[in-house]
Amino acid sequence: MTILVTGAAGFVGSHLCEQLLNTSETDVIGIDLDIEGNETKIRNIKQLLKRPKFKLYDIDLLKQDLSGLLKNVDVIYHLAGIPGVRSSFGSDFERYILNNGLVTQKLLEASRNHSITKFIYVSTSSVYGEKVGKVSEDMKTVPLSPYGVTKLTGEQLCHIYHLYFGVPVVILRYFTVYGPRQRPDMAFHRFIKQMLQDKPITVYGNGLQSRDFTYVSDCVQATAAVKDADNVVGETINIGGKERATVLDVISILEELLSKKAKINFVPKATGEPMHTWADISKAENLLNYRPSVLLREGLMNEIIDLTKLYGRKD
């Protein structure tokens, strides 16, 4: 089996490539952009480049002829895109709509002419907007940010290409993934780095916002399972975590694990972010046999270990 992974040098993408290579007889083709000189991406794929069944291509999907790229590909995992809620407002929106919308359409268009068995599109809980209680996949989508709008656009494109051309799409909605290799702009990475360097932590709002935190190994286990799962084509599936917590809860755990008190700098609440997220994962449990297992404390410790190697520790 040959699997194409877009965004392969990213946080989740690099872990997914490793999982796919570890658990099955597969060849993995990784696609990413502007890898050379990007220390974060190079670090993410360092071990992958040693794997004989892994090939990496530095390609701009907006400009590439995608038909040739999909030759002999059986499964597509489409993770590439521009992430981040706060930065999606303002002049950067064009990058979001091009990379999250147009790239997805181009890939779907190319896929309709190839005999792929699954096209797995990775979306986000940001498409839901503000909800109360557990969120199931059939709830109304009301994104609060341009980022969420562009990811929902990708979802709708998937539905259209499945309806009219039979592209075998599966949509996964991730809920706040964390762990080793997490992007530098994401909260846990920022918190741990700032605490390691004895700098103040920046918290948007009052810190009482809660998230359904999903450890990266749980996330990629569920994601990898899609390629072999039955009865998932055309479905949208939440991928949530083992444990929910508030931002202040997380900081308290970090203080214990790092044996130091955090200096917190509270700033106004960020535009476009919901107060709470909570995934109903019963569909993933039924269709993917998904059972998230990593508790928040364990996952945070693993991320601390990873970032201590990267930044060192100031004692």
Residues 15 and 161 in one domain: yes
Beta carbons within 8 Å of 230's beta carbon, 6+ residues apart: none
> In this structure, is residue 305 part of a structural domain?
yes
User: Reduced to 3 DSSP states, what percent helix, strand and coil does the chain have, rounded to the nearest 5?
Assistant: 40, 20, 40
Residues 50 and 122 in one domain: yes
**164 noted as active-site residue:** no
> In this structure, is residue 283 part of a structural domain?
no
> In this structure, is residue 288 part of a structural domain?
no
Residues 164 and 305 in one domain: no
Residues 207 and 229 in one domain: no
Residues 222 and 305 in one domain: no
Residues 17 and 96 in one domain: yes
Alpha-carbon span 120 to 143, nearest angstrom = 21
Beta carbons within 8 Å of 132's beta carbon, 6+ residues apart: 276
Distances (CA, A) of 53 to 37, 71, 110, 305: 24, 16, 24, 28
Residues 62 and 185 in one domain: no
pTM confidence score: 0.97
Residues 158 and 194 in one domain: no
Taking only the tens of pLDDT, the chain with its 315 residues reads 999 999 999 999 999 999 999 976 899 999 999 999 999 999 999 999 999 999 999 999 999 989 889 999 999 999 999 999 999 999 999 999 999 999 999 999 999 999 999 999 999 999 999 999 999 999 999 999 999 999 999 999 999 999 999 999 999 999 999 999 999 999 999 999 999 999 999 999 999 999 999 999 999 999 999 999 999 999 999 999 999 999 999 999 999 999 999 999 999 999 999 999 999 999 999 999 999 999 999 999 999 999 999 997 655
> In this structure, is residue 234 part of a structural domain?
yes
CATH of the domain at 28: 3.40.50.720
Alpha-carbon span 191 to 181, nearest angstrom = 14
Residues 139 and 103 in one domain: yes
Alpha-carbon span 66 to 152, nearest angstrom = 22
Q: What is the pLDDT of residue 23?
A: 78
Is there a contact between 143 and 130 (Cβ–Cβ < 8 Å)?
no
Give, as one character, the DSSP assignment of residue 98.
Answer: I
CATH of the domain at 249: 3.90.25.10
Q: Measured in whole angstroms, how far is the alpha carbon of residue 129 from the centre of its chain?
A: 17
Is there a contact between 117 and 153 (Cβ–Cβ < 8 Å)?
no
Candidate list 96, 121, 128, 147, residue with the active-site label: 147
Residues 224 and 109 in one domain: yes
Q: What is the pLDDT of residue 314?
A: 59
* Count of C-beta atoms within a 10 Å radius of residue 212: 25
> In this structure, is residue 148 part of a structural domain?
yes
> In this structure, is residue 278 part of a structural domain?
no
Residues 162 and 51 in one domain: yes
| One-letter amino acid for residue 198 of the chain | D
Structure tokens belonging to residue 218: 């749980």
> In this structure, is residue 114 part of a structural domain?
yes
| One-letter amino acid for residue 148 of the chain | G
Q: Structural domain tally of the chain?
A: 2
End-to-end C-alpha distance for the chain, whole angstroms = 49
> In this structure, is residue 287 part of a structural domain?
no
Range of the domain at 46: 2-177+213-239
Is there a contact between 298 and 241 (Cβ–Cβ < 8 Å)?
no
Residues 129 and 22 in one domain: yes
The CA-based angle 98-104-109, given to 5 degrees, is: 120
